[in-house]
């Protein structure tokens, strides 16, 4: 039976891990065992937080829209229900930007929702 030597592949894998941990603190960037563990956690947090980011921004947009709606004398839930009823399909990100940067346009949208 032929002996398979894996030194090259192992070294390649370790170098790849150490390259990915560049910028980490202390031994987590230079010692393979610590780097491997740090990288595993970093990748898990990155995966989790890409999803959390979407939740956080949606929550922020809802808060901004609610604040702008209340200045116009309507609450968030009635405003969103009115948008659906009037078949105005603007997403929350766009509505939040309109409320923040173009309040007069947002005010017209609110008036449109209120009239029906």
pLDDT at 47: 97
Q: Does domain 11-115 have CATH number 3.40.50.720?
A: no
pLDDT at 116: 66
Structure pTM? Answer: 0.76
Average pLDDT, the chain: 93
Count of residues making up the chain: 116
DSSP 35-103: HHHHHHHHHHHHHHHHHHHHHHHHHHHHHHHHHHHHHTT--HHHHHHHHHHTT----HHHHHHHHHH-H
Statement: residue 114 has pLDDT above 70:
yes
Residue ranges of domains in the chain:
11-115
For 52-102, the pLDDT digits (tens) are 999 999 999 999 999 999 998 999 999 999 999 999 899 999 999 999 999
């Amino acid at each position: 039976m032929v002996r398979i030597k894996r030194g090259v592949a192992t070294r390649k894998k370790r170098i790849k891990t150490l390259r990915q941990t560049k910028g980490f603190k202390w031994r987590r960037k230079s010692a393979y065992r610590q780097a491997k563990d740090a990288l595993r956690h970093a990748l898990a947090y990155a995966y989790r937080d890409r999803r959390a980011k979407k939740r956080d921004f949606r929550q922020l947009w809802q808060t901004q829209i609610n604040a702008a709606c209340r200045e116009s004398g309507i609450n968030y839930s009635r405003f969103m229900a009115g948008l659906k009823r009037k078949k105005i399909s603007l997403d929350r990100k766009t509505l939040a930007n309109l409320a923040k940067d173009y309040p007069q346009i947002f005010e017209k949208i609110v008036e449109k929702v209120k009239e029906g």
